[in-house]
Amino acid sequence: MIDLADLDLFTDGDPHEAWRVLRRDRPVHWNATGGDTASGVGPSGFWALTRYQDVHDAYVDAGLFSSRWGTVMGGSHRRDADSASGRMLIASDDPQHRLMRQQVHRAFLPALMDRARRVVRDYVNAALDRVLKDGGGDFATDVAPELPAGLLAAMFGLERRDALHLLALTRSMIGFQDPRYHSDSTPPAVLVSSQVEIFDVMMDLMETRRRAPSDDLVSILLGASINGRRFTEDEVLYNCLNVAVGGNETTPFTASAAVQAFMDFPDQAQRLLDDGGLLPTAVEEIFRWTSTNAYVQRVATRDVELHGQLIRAGDPVTLWNASANRDEEKFPNPDRFDVRRTPNRHIAFGVGVHRCIGMGAAQMEIALLLKEIVRRGITFEPAGPPARLRSNFMLGLTCLPVHATVAQDAS
């Protein structure tokens, strides 16, 4: 029996094989949980959409599939709805979502992104220098975190050590069910304590920016308004959390999975090293292949029938990006990592009004990493077994030991 709430599937099993079976046999799958499971899912279960077109269409029909109840199963200590419902970008519907997005988007305009690009480049180059000097290391901890650290240092006006501290907090929040993050504490306690610590960091930043405004995200949101009403403190906090978690968690896991893909498909790594002009298609293939944000949750606002299954109003519905991006009906040879793949209309960032607001920033970060790898002519080889995050929401490697070498003729 396929159970997408079973986290063992995501650490020791093959979720892609499970999704392949569901796409073929049960594209609208009721995933019963039978009670309060370790994943934090409620007592009955959830629907799972796994085919590309169904996932795409559910994203587009935001009126039918609402985001107000939160996008993560068990992502809040409340059971009825996410505690940020209606106050955070990803947990809101139009028109509130559209108006809020206009304000948060100001943090992703060219001036701030140009500064972020410079900081990310500096952080990544320094990390690659260290790894090459040592002949390798753990890419998941020694290099990948520098991408979001650079981005958030620029976006929040933080020093590197503070950005890495924020990363550690968001990592424990997303990975609250992974033993490495909760040790003697229970997963729910880790989730709540991590959120509280992140809010403490953001509250301190808010007080600092009230005294000395800047052009960072916190200052932007403190001055934001909707229809003449200033953002409440909760709205500022929740949307800072939204950007911090989104920026901190997806990119480093994507970067590590990209290096793993290059080691699994050395011909593709060599192809990119030989032809840096493939960088744009390689970046998009990495996002399709990794699909780090495995799913998002929605709630049906009315009864709807899909592939013969009746989804009732109020039912939770999960849209599995990671499955859609390997759909045989959409992508030829989908289980082949191909840096020349085109067209490549993946939905790793969602689609429609809820397309990830940080998509451009994520593309910039991964492109910078690949550009440096190509420029230096770096080749990675396995130096030990990787370890996967214990999560069905975020597909990521918590450990990726590698050997790193540079081609003699690299410029």
- Domain holding 205: CATH number? 1.10.630.10
- Give the containing element (helix H, strand E) for 290: helix 279-290
For residue 374, is it left (φ>0), alpha (ψ between -120 and 50) or beta?
A: alpha
Q: What is the pLDDT of residue 247?
A: 75
* Torsion angle defined by CA atoms of residues 364, 298, 18 and 395, in that order, rounded to the nearest 10 degrees: 30
pLDDT in tens, the chain (411 residues): 899 999 999 999 999 999 999 999 999 999 998 654 444 444 489 999 999 999 999 999 999 999 998 888 865 434 455 667 778 999 999 999 999 999 999 999 999 999 999 999 999 999 999 999 999 999 999 999 999 999 999 999 999 999 999 998 888 888 888 887 766 677 778 788 888 899 899 999 999 999 999 999 999 999 999 999 999 999 999 999 889 888 778 999 999 999 999 999 999 999 999 999 999 999 999 999 999 999 999 999 999 999 999 999 999 999 999 999 999 999 999 999 999 999 999 999 999 999 999 999 999 999 999 999 999 999 999 999 999 999 999 999 999 999 999 976 554
Q: What is the DSSP letter of 394?
A: B
Residue type (1 letter), 383: A
Q: What is the extent of the structural domain holding 83?
A: 8-406
Domain assignment present for 2: no
Domain assignment present for 3: no
Domain assignment present for 193: yes
- 3-state DSSP assignment of residue 113: helix
Domain assignment present for 103: yes
Tell me the pTM.
0.92
Q: What are the pLDDT digits (tens) for 257-312?
A: 999 999 999 999 999 999 999 999 999 999 999 999 999 999 999 999 999 999 99
Domain assignment present for 33: yes
CA atoms within 13 A on the CB side of 330: 20
What does the alpha-carbon distance between residue 47 and residue 143 come to, in Å, rounded to a whole number?
Answer: 37
Count of domains observed in the chain: 1
Q: Which residues contact 282 (CB under 8 A, 6 or more apart)?
A: 272, 339, 370
What does the alpha-carbon distance between residue 89 and residue 77 come to, in Å, rounded to a whole number?
Answer: 19
Q: Are the C-beta atoms of residues 319 and 73 closer than 8 Å to each other?
A: no
Q: Are the C-beta atoms of residues 339 and 272 closer than 8 Å to each other?
A: yes
287, with CB counted inside 10 A (0-12, 13-18, 19+), is buried
Q: Strand locations in 267-396, DSSP E?
A: 295-300, 304-306, 309-311, 316-320, 378-382, 387-388
- 3-state DSSP assignment of residue 402: strand
Nearest CA to 335 out of 4, 23, 11 is that of: 23
257, with CB counted inside 10 A (0-12, 13-18, 19+), is buried
Q: What are the pLDDT digits (tens) for 52-110?
A: 999 999 999 999 999 998 888 865 434 455 667 778 999 999 999 999 999 999 999 99
Domain assignment present for 138: yes
Q: Are the C-beta atoms of residues 10 and 175 closer than 8 Å to each other?
A: no
Q: What is the pLDDT of residue 408?
A: 65
Domain assignment present for 411: no
Which residue, chain included where needed, has tokens 């599995």?
320
Domain assignment present for 260: yes
Q: Are the C-beta atoms of residues 361 and 248 closer than 8 Å to each other?
A: no
- 3-state DSSP assignment of residue 20: helix
Q: At what angle do helices 279-290 and 359-376 cross, to 10 degrees?
A: 120
Rg (the chain; Cα; Å): 21
